[in-house]
Amino acid sequence: MADNNSYDADDIQVLKGLEGVRKRPAMYIGDTGKKGLHHLIFEVLDNSVDEAMGGFANLIKVTLNTDNSVTIFDNGRGIPIDLHPEYKKPAVEVIMEHLHSGGKFDKKSYKISGGLHGVGLSVVNALAEWLEVEVCKDGSQYTQRFSKGLKASEPTIQKATIKESYTKITFYPDNSIFDFDGSQKIFNKAIISNRVRELAFLTPQARFEIIDKYKDEKEEYFFEGGIKEFISYLNKDKQPLHDDIIFISDSYEEEKDEIIYCDIAMQYNQGYQTNILTYANTINTIEGGVHLTGFKTALTRTFNSYIENFMEKKYKEHVLSGSDTREGLSAVVSVKLPDPQFESQTKIKLGNPEVRQVISQVVSDKLTQYLEENPDTAKKIVLKTINAKLAREAALKARQLIRRKSALDSARMPGKLADCSSNNPEESEIFIVEGPSAGGSAKQGRDRTYQAILPLRGKILNVEKARLDKILHNKEIQSIIKALGVGIQDLNHANGMNGDNENEADNGDTEETFDLSRLRYHKVIIMCDADIDGFHIETLLLTFFFRYMRPLIDEGNLYVAVPPLYKISYKKDKTYVYSDLEKERMIDSLKIKYKLKNTQSVKVQRYKGLGEMNPEELYITTMNRETRKLKRVTYEDFIENDLVFSKLMGKEVKARKKFIINHFDEVSTLDI
């Protein structure tokens, strides 16, 4: 015991080179899951974009190779390959093997850059099973291989066959760091496409290509209109409130050669959701920061000022809050500055205090000018913000009414809820089931100890097409809110899509109503029919949870059940399968097993709805913890499967099949 309690100089370790990155990778890339895996690509890609922002590159390519490696190419100046004066070896080696090495610590090589910490390439190198760098520069072609942060070969230098310069980096992630099966495709093209597309909007001077060698496909992204085209893309399935896109562009010189550039594009639509995307040096600051706060503050101040100075007397009594001015707004806020301060290497939040004031002043001045020059558009927007204020006040009254009812009637749950006997939220789970028929089977087949059932009647309200006051009056949504016990959190109106806590007083009643610690079931499971109506209802439910109970997704409490599509029976064999392909394989397997001349005697039952299963079947296939298939819903699912909420404004049902079908990379049969 005494030895275990000792603590002296021998216990102090000093990690050399890139050992620290391999020891604590999440510190540099966020995590070692899917997000961190793709972050490796984006670290290399950001360097290529820096070349484009500096005017040195106009072509950037990302290639997904068939061996699961990735190649990133740009036709910029090329990484320096001459000898470093201090380390006496090629500069590219220094960059690959040493943290905090690079050309972005002063303003000589890059005025503006996203990769500013000097750790991007070295971190990718440290976390790669192997990495190859190829540089063409000054008439020479330089090639070298690295492995797990260390040099694996001496450089090969030969005369270049072309005059142009370029950098090409190919790497394969280290399987001992990241959890993946190398025999399957490990990178998700949709995630990469989303990032490359937004980079193309933000870097209109460069053409981007994604080459997928698995499918022999190529995507190209080039947007001369920049972030104005970005807004058109964001609003492509929405009905704009005004035709023109408001575009604000300005710069502010803080010190000599230190200029802050800000570009903002915005357009209101007739919906109720807010979508504000913020960027600093093309880095997507998903948690916002000072530029978002400055934008929000200026927006509220400007519209209140316009009402006071230009609107008719009957409107002057209205004082808008921040959420009122953002309802139905799609906006892109992009700043470029010499020395951005991010919270971490993952760069999710901007912290430069001077940027807030710059953005706030620019938006106030330019937006005021636009509103004065376009009075018709200004009035449309202002009337929408006033209606949003009135709806917010109505929602507040509805919410207070729900609170009073809950306080007086706290012992009673929704009448349709079949609760479980356990009072331990950690072991309890609730199935939100489509329709009374499936609800009846689920109630009979469940394990009453820890499984609760909440059947819904038909399709819930489409929250994309309704304001909060109407949502709170919907009986099905009320049942969900009361059963879960956490309240609701209107992240959209409080913070925009990549929120930030602004100092201004907002609606004052959003955050305090949501308390995840009150969650009565730690697994909330959506269980819908495996048909087109089931997909529709599931999409509506997912949208509601994303908009108003987002922490359930972020904390991993929300799941989707995957019921089987078919039961295949022959003699005593009963097998449940989850796709048409599996059905054909199973029938062929039975034909071989029993030496059948034909398969007419094999019985195939298609489950069009959960209600067609008897309670025992439903429990075995979809509810039993040992045999069921559950998909944990994550934010990435919405991106990867293109669950674009704006599609809920129209005929979204057909596009939703993909979301459910792609829940599992590999779906296996269930033999009973």
**Has residue 330 got a pLDDT over 70?**
yes
Angle among Cα 411, 444, 429 to the nearest 5 degrees reads 55
Q: What region does 107 belong to: left with phi over 0, alpha with psi -120 to 50, or beta? A: alpha
Q: What is the DSSP string of 540-607?
A: HHHHHHHHH-HHHHHTT-EEEE---SEEEEETTEEEEESSHHHHHHHHHHHHHHTT-S-STTSEEEE-
Least confident piece of the model among 12-16, 43-47, 455-459: 12-16
Using CA atoms, how far apart are residues 77 and 166, in angstroms rounded to an integer? 6
Supply the pLDDT for residue 220.
97
For 546, the token pair is 């994303």
What average pLDDT does the segment 573-602 reach?
88
Supply the pLDDT for residue 115.
46
For 296, the token pair is 């929000």
Give tens-digit pLDDT for 227-263.
999 999 999 888 999 999 999 999 988 776 688 999 9
- Shortest CA distance to 489 belongs to which of 413, 556, 399, 429? 399
> What residue ranges of the chain are covered by domains with CATH 3.30.230.10?
227-387
Supply the pLDDT for residue 656.
41
Q: What is the DSSP string of 60-128?
A: EEEEE-TTS-EEEEE-SS----SBPTTT-SBHHHHHHHSTT-SS-SSSSS-SS-S--SS-HHHHHHHTE
Burial-class residue 568 by CB neighbours within 10 Å (0-12, 13-18, 19+). buried
Supply the pLDDT for residue 543.
86
**Has residue 353 got a pLDDT over 70?**
yes
- Shortest CA distance to 659 belongs to which of 477, 570, 528? 528
Supply the pLDDT for residue 664.
36
What average pLDDT does the segment 133-142 reach?
94
Using CA atoms, how far apart are residues 94 and 144, in angstroms rounded to an integer? 12
Least confident piece of the model among 196-200, 407-411, 662-666: 662-666
CB within 8 Å of 293: residues ≥ 6 apart: 356, 500, 501, 502, 503
- Calculate the average pLDDT of the chain: 83
Q: What confidence category does residue 26 fall into, taking pLDDT thresholds of 50, 70 and 90?
A: confident
What average pLDDT does the segment 144-156 reach?
94
The radius of gyration of the chain from alpha carbons, rounded to an integer in Å, stands at: 28
Q: What confidence category does residue 660 fall into, taking pLDDT thresholds of 50, 70 and 90?
A: very low
> What residue ranges of the chain are covered by domains with CATH 3.30.565.10?
19-221
Q: Of 17-26, 321-330, 540-549, which has the strongest mean pLDDT? A: 321-330
CB within 8 Å of 23: residues ≥ 6 apart: 15
Amino acid at 59: L
Give tens-digit pLDDT for 463-507.
888 888 888 889 899 899 989 999 888 655 443 334 344 444 343
**Has residue 578 got a pLDDT over 80?**
yes
**Has residue 634 got a pLDDT over 60?**
yes
| 416 backbone dihedrals φ, ψ, rounded to 5° | -80, -15
Residue with tokens 């003699």: 571
- Shortest CA distance to 63 belongs to which of 197, 211, 215, 168? 211
For 215, the token pair is 């499918």
Give percent of the chain above pLDDT 70: 82
**Has residue 650 got a pLDDT over 60?**
no
CB within 8 Å of 337: residues ≥ 6 apart: 112, 258, 259, 260, 261, 280, 281, 352, 355
Using CA atoms, how far apart are residues 641 and 638, in angstroms rounded to an integer? 6
What average pLDDT does the segment 265-271 reach?
95
Q: What confidence category does residue 87 fall into, taking pLDDT thresholds of 50, 70 and 90?
A: confident
Supply the pLDDT for residue 250.
94
Using CA atoms, how far apart are residues 542 and 460, in angstroms rounded to an integer? 11
Residue 319 is given by DSSP the state -
Least confident piece of the model among 2-16, 86-100, 433-447, 583-597: 2-16
Coil, helix or strand at residue 323: helix
Convert 379-391 to b/e letters by CB count within 10 Å (16 or more is b): bebbebbbebbeb
Give tens-digit pLDDT for 366-423.
999 999 999 999 999 999 999 999 988 888 887 776 665 554 454 457 778 999 999 9
Supply the pLDDT for residue 113.
53
For 422, the token pair is 């356990």
**Has residue 32 got a pLDDT over 70?**
yes
Highest CATH level, class, for 19-221: alpha beta
**Per the confidence metrics, is the pTM higher than 0.85?**
no
Q: What is the DSSP string of 416-440?
A: T-B--S---TTT-EEEEEESHHHHH
**Has residue 165 got a pLDDT over 50?**
yes
Greater confidence (331 vs 119) lies with: 331
Supply the pLDDT for residue 613.
87
Q: What confidence category does residue 667 fall into, taking pLDDT thresholds of 50, 70 and 90?
A: very low
What average pLDDT does the segment 161-186 reach?
90
Contact 302, 368 (CB under 8 A): yes
Residue 177 is given by DSSP the state T
**Strand 283-284 and strand 275-280: pairing?**
antiparallel
CB within 8 Å of 612: residues ≥ 6 apart: none
H-helix segments, 320-453? 322-326, 353-373, 375-408, 436-445
**Has residue 3 got a pLDDT over 60?**
no
Burial-class residue 30 by CB neighbours within 10 Å (0-12, 13-18, 19+). middle
Amino acid at 427: E
Residues identified as active-site = 434, 529, 531, 533
- Shortest CA distance to 356 belongs to which of 231, 252, 256, 267? 252
Using CA atoms, how far apart are residues 526 and 187, in angstroms rounded to an integer? 27
HEC letters along 5-52 = HCCCHHHCCCCCCCHHHHHCCHHHHCCCCHHHHHHHHHHHHHHHHHHH
Using CA atoms, how far apart are residues 267 and 234, in angstroms rounded to an integer? 10
What is the dotted CATH code of the domain comprising 227-387? 3.30.230.10
Amino acid at 24: R
Q: What region does 149 belong to: left with phi over 0, alpha with psi -120 to 50, or beta? A: left
Supply the pLDDT for residue 363.
96
Supply the pLDDT for residue 321.
93
CB within 8 Å of 13: residues ≥ 6 apart: none
**Has residue 668 got a pLDDT over 60?**
no
Supply the pLDDT for residue 5.
67
Supply the pLDDT for residue 387.
93
Supply the pLDDT for residue 546.
87
Greater confidence (349 vs 196) lies with: 196
For 209, the token pair is 């290509």
Least confident piece of the model among 117-131, 292-306, 404-418, 583-597: 404-418
Convert 97-106 to b/e letters by CB count within 10 Å (16 or more is b): bbbebbbbee
Q: What confidence category does residue 16 fall into, taking pLDDT thresholds of 50, 70 and 90?
A: low
Supply the pLDDT for residue 237.
81
What average pLDDT does the segment 296-323 reach?
94
